[in-house]
Amino acid sequence: MPEEKKNNYIVSVLVPYPVDKAYSYISPEKVGLGQYVVVPLGGREVTGVVWAVDVSVEDKLLKKLKAVSHIYSDLPSMPDGHIRFLEKLSAYTMNPLGSVLKMSLSAPRAFDPPAPITGYKLANTDSLNPKQRQVAAVMKEGVAYRAATITRRAHCSASVIKTMAKHGFLKEVIMESDPPCVDPDFNHKDIELNEAQKKAASILLEKTGFAVTLLDGVTGSGKTEVYFEAVTQALKLNKQVLILLPEIALSNAFLERFEQRYGCQPALWHSELTPAQRRETWRAVAKGQSKVVIGARSALFLPYTDLGLIVVDEEHDPSYKQEEGVIYNARDMAVLRGALDKLPIILVSATPSLETIHNVKLGRYEEVKLPARFGGALLPKVHLIDMKEEREDAQHFISNTLKEAMDYTLERGEQVLLFLNRRGYAPLTLCRHCGHRYECDRCSAWLVEHKSRHNLQCHHCGYTVKKPTNCPECNEADSLTACGPGVERIFDEVKELFPDHTALILSSDTAENQADLKTILAKIQSKKVDIIIGTQIIAKGHHFPKLTCVGVIDADLGLAGGDLRASERTWQLLNQVSGRAGRAEDPGHVYLQTFYPDNLVMQALLSDKRDAFLEIELEAREQAFMPPFSRLVGLVVSGVKEQEVMHFAQELAKVAPQTDQVKVLGPAPAPFLRLRNRYRYRLLVIADKNIDIQKTIRHWLGQVKLPTKLKLTVDVDPMSFL
Ligand code: ADP
Ligand code: ZN
């Protein structure tokens, strides 16, 4: 039908694949910018987003255009602000635009037709009996609820609802689903802030347009309560709010707290959701129904319709950096989003990152302080244990001083946390006879013994072998020796030293999912266990009232390796771990076992020399022309054959920009030369912050052709240099 052809619209559609631009399609119907559509692509049907309309193409190409096969007209379009955000993020991080879009379409079932659910609305409230009045009390006029929600809130049985429906008190309606956090009640709980909190909150509440505020306060100072005030303000304006948390901190404790304050669960977004939950939340956010989303970094990519505030809790946390696939830093991208949409951004931490502190100094961010714990609770007292003097032998890791402190704590019926950020039994296993070290076949890394599983594991690729009885090199029997401690080994030592006390390990091996974690945390909370041996999983946000003693087995652990942020990270992590001690009425004690008691980090932790420490760190970074005074970009070339990788990395270096404002170092073999069977070489760009480094790099990379067998990863603002 040739007449109809004239009515066709030409649009370009971005697809969620590693492509840099949108492709043109013909659409029989008018479609708008941002609409979700299905298009044919290489023999498949894929969901994409209309990225441009009224596109002009040459006549000869017109004939070749394929047609949009479906338009999701029941979903609102992706908002303009979100589209601009994805474009800017792609440009800044140098990830292909299509890959960035994919992050926003990470709920594949969101596009399936809705499964109908029967819900109820309040219809008539005359002459209710008491039970029925209870039901009416939990329902808002005009809002549809699922039967399960009503029975839970009103503590009634399903038959009450049936009867009410029969008598016309409730009206049956077809609901698409029960979107989360539609109607948070900001009057649910009144909270009385103390003077410092009030002052902090009032500054946060002043911010309406784009402004970044650092809420900087010691653990337990009530930072959450304070930023909830800003959340409330945004809710009063009927805006959506995003609260970002490190994945691990998305524990029930936080959610319960939210529910106590707002009378409903927040919408959740993290890696453990079921496809059905992802669908529900994604759609409810896209439709503007869900008001508060609490999520891990990827929650930044939900298609908010009317965002009014972003909070980044624990802003210094390295897990905000996504290191695989699309490499980006969620904290920085939250600020980008704020700048684009003119939103206030609140960064929250007890130990802010140097980047953020630098931005405060430059006047770009405002700082709001909460100097003391809420309710007069004292900060824990820190003690340094000099292991040069106290270390007894290579097989034991708990010093006498720490043991005595543990004795004292346990006698009083309180809990002890021993912190060691190392999973497994021992980080290295070797043969006592020939010195053979167990290394992964596929990575340049040692295998870690896991006693509980009777195997050796690679923590990088997941490779495991059963622990052999004979050395595979010299065949000597029973010659394998563990070197250094992991949490399992500390557990054995604890059992030996405190046979009458209960102990457990909390690591990603014992708490593999949120449910396990919840069980273990509940055990600790209800004091079913006396001694907890934990990795960094324990450090975040948990509140254990009976925990009054923290022992850090190896406070020096994070200082090794010479990473740019080694000192900063150690200070942050140990501060956070220390914050677990004595959060309630009992003051806490923290014991740091170190071989370097004079180290600046240990001294900063010991007495509150935080500001001096940060000054010295900043000065060292400035001297070395390192971030936050310069910008780094890491490039990693990887491939199966080392020769090819090295060769290409050298070719890259030959045409590298070298100016007054840009230096390129390398190539050098990566510290983990091999990972998952691939060899890796690194180059590092150090650039003046005032230049458009992305443009420089694009130009540079445009001069070489990447062999198909190799992969080149670009990491803007790298956190990891492995
Ligand atoms: P932070 O996030 O700074 O570690 P929290 O917000 O978790 O601190 O507060 C620590 C504890 O003190 C929590 O149990 C919290 O409920 C309580 N708290 C803080 N401020 C108040 C307040 N104004 N009124 C009542 N309880 C408060
Ligand atoms: Zn491996």
Q: Which two tokens stand for residue 380?
A: 């824990």
Question: Is residue 13 a contact partner of residue 51, using CB atoms and an 8 Å limit?
Answer: yes
Indicate the domain borders of the chain. Answer: 9-105, 117-175, 195-374, 377-422+485-619, 631-716
Ligand 1 neighbour 372 (Cβ under 6 A)? no
pLDDT at 548: 93
pLDDT at 491 over 80: yes
SS3 for 122-170 is ECCCCCCCHHHHHHHHCCCCCCCEEHHHHHHHHCCCHHHHHHHHHCCCE
Q: Which ligand sits nearest to residue 448's alpha carbon?
A: 2
Q: What percent of the chain has pLDDT over 70?
A: 97
> Which pLDDT score, from 0 to 100, does residue 379 have?
83
Q: Peptide bond before 667: cis, by omega within 30 degrees of 0?
A: yes
Pocket of ligand 1 contains residue 222 by CB under 6 Å: yes
Atom of ligand 1 nearest to the CA of 543: 14
Ligand 1 pocket residue status of 193, Cβ below 6 Å: yes
Mean pLDDT rounded to a whole number for the chain: 91
Q: Which residues contact 159 (CB under 8 A, 6 or more apart)?
A: none
Q: Whose CA is closest to atom 6 on ligand 1?
A: 222
SS (H, E, C) 469-533: CECCCCCCECCEEEECCCHHHHHHHHHHHCCCCCEEEECCCCCCCHHHHHHHHHHHHCCCCCEEE
The answer to whether the CB of 221 is under 6 A from ligand 1 is yes
Q: Which residue puts its alpha carbon closest to atom 17 of ligand 1?
A: 222
Ligand located closest to 677 CA: 2
Positive or negative, the Cα torsion across 207, 208, 214, 217?
positive
Euclidean distance between CA atoms 595 and 360, whole angstroms: 34
Distance in angstroms (rounded) separating the CA atoms of residues 507 and 178: 34
Determine whether the shortest distance from the Cβ of 194 to ligand 1 is under 6 A.
yes
Among 204, 221, 225, say which to mutate for ligand 1: greatest number of ligand atoms within 8 Å of CB.
Answer: 225
Architecture of domain 377-422+485-619: 3-Layer(aba) Sandwich (3.40)
Contacts of 14 (CB under 8 A, 6+ apart): 21, 22, 23, 48, 49, 51, 97, 98, 101
pLDDT of residue 61: 86
Report the amino acid identity of residue 610: R
Ligand 1 centroid to Cα of residue 401, in Å, is: 32
The answer, yes or no, to whether residue 6 has pLDDT greater than 60, is no
- Higher pLDDT: 200 or 391? It is 200
Nearest in space to 557 (alpha carbons), one of 486, 481, 462: 486
Please give the structure tokens belonging to residue 396.
């034991």
Q: How far apart are CA 43 and CA 326, in angstroms?
A: 25
CB of 81 shorter than 6 A to ligand 1:
no
User: Does any ligand 1 atom lie closer than 6 A to the CB of residue 535?
Assistant: no
When pLDDT is averaged across residues 305-325 and rounded to a whole number, the result is 95
The CATH superfamily assigned to 195-374 is: P-loop containing nucleotide triphosphate hydrolases (3.40.50.300)
672 C-alpha to ligand 2 centroid (Å) = 10
Cβ of 541 less than 6 Å from ligand 1: no
Q: Which residue is closest in CA terms to ligand 1's atom 11?
A: 220
Question: Given 3-state DSSP classes, what are the helix, strand and coil percentages for the chain, each rounded to the nearest 5?
Answer: 35, 25, 40
Residue 3's pLDDT band (boundaries 50, 70, 90)?
Answer: very low
Question: Confidence class of residue 637 from pLDDT cuts 50, 70 and 90?
Answer: very high
Nearest to 212 by CA among 352, 345, 18: 345
Q: Is 579 in the pocket of ligand 1 (CB under 6 A)?
A: no
Ligand whose nearest atom lies closest to the CA of 191? 1
Q: From the CB of residue 624, how many other CB atoms can be counted at a distance below 10 Å?
A: 12
**Half-sphere exposure of residue 342: CA atoms within 13 angstroms, side-chain side:** 2
At 7 the pLDDT is: 62
Nearest to 135 by CA among 165, 113, 108, 115: 165
CB neighbours of 133 closer than 8 A, spacing ≥ 6?
A: 125
Which tokens sit at 354?
């140097």
| Single-letter residue type at 448 | V
CB 466 within 8 A of CB 455: yes
Find out whether 124 and 168 touch, Cβ atoms under 8 Å: yes
Which residue, 687, 685, 640, 689, is CA-closest to 667? 685
Overall residue count recorded for the chain in this entry:
722
Helix H or strand E encompassing 370: strand 365-370
CA distance 493 to 628: 42
* Ligand 2 centre distance from Cα of residue 671 (Å): 14
List, in sequence order, every residue forming a beta bridge with 635; answer none if it has no partner: 683, 714
Our answer on whether the CB atom of 548 is closer than 6 Å to any ligand 1 atom is no
Closest protein CA for atom 18 of ligand 1 = 222
Q: Is 464 in the pocket of ligand 1 (CB under 6 A)?
A: no
CB 119 less than 6 A from any atom of ligand 1: no
Q: Which atom of ligand 1 is least distant from the CA of 221?
A: 3
Confidence check: pLDDT of 277 > 90: no
110-119, 183-192, 281-290: range with highest mean pLDDT: 281-290
Does residue 583 have its Cβ closer than 6 Å to ligand 1? no
Q: Do domains 195-374 and 377-422+485-619 have the same CATH topology?
A: yes
Q: How far is the CA of 374 from the centre of ligand 1 (A)?
A: 6
Answer yes or no: is the C-beta of 298 below 6 A from any ligand 1 atom. Answer: no
In the prediction, which pLDDT does 677 show? Answer: 93
Global pTM value: 0.88
Q: Hey, what CATH topology would domain 631-716 get? A: Alpha-Beta Plaits (3.30.70)
Ligand 2: centre distance to CA 447 (Å): 8
DSSP string, 637-689: EEES-HHHHHHHHHHHHHT---SSSEEEEEEEEEEEEEETTEEEEEEEEEE-T
**Which ligand has the shortest distance to the CA of 465?**
2
Atom 23 (ligand 1) nearest CA: 193
**Secondary structure letter of residue 88 according to DSSP:** H
Best substitution site from 224, 540, 575, 577 to test ligand 1's pocket, by max atoms within 8 Å of Cβ? 224
For the segment(s) 9-105, the CATH number from 3.40.50.261, 3.40.225.10, 3.40.640.10, 3.40.1440.60 is 3.40.1440.60
- Centre of ligand 2 to C-alpha 102, Å, is 28
Q: Among 285-299, 507-521, 604-618, where is mean pLDDT lowest?
A: 507-521
Q: Is 722's pLDDT higher than 50?
A: yes
pLDDT in tens, 502-530: 999 999 888 887 778 888 888 998 999 99
Residue 364 CA: distances (Å) to CA of 89, 328, 339, 358: 20, 21, 12, 9
> Is 198 a pocket residue for ligand 1 (Cβ < 6 Å)?
no
- C-alpha distances (whole Å) from 39 to each of 7, 14, 79, 581, 657 are 19, 10, 20, 56, 40
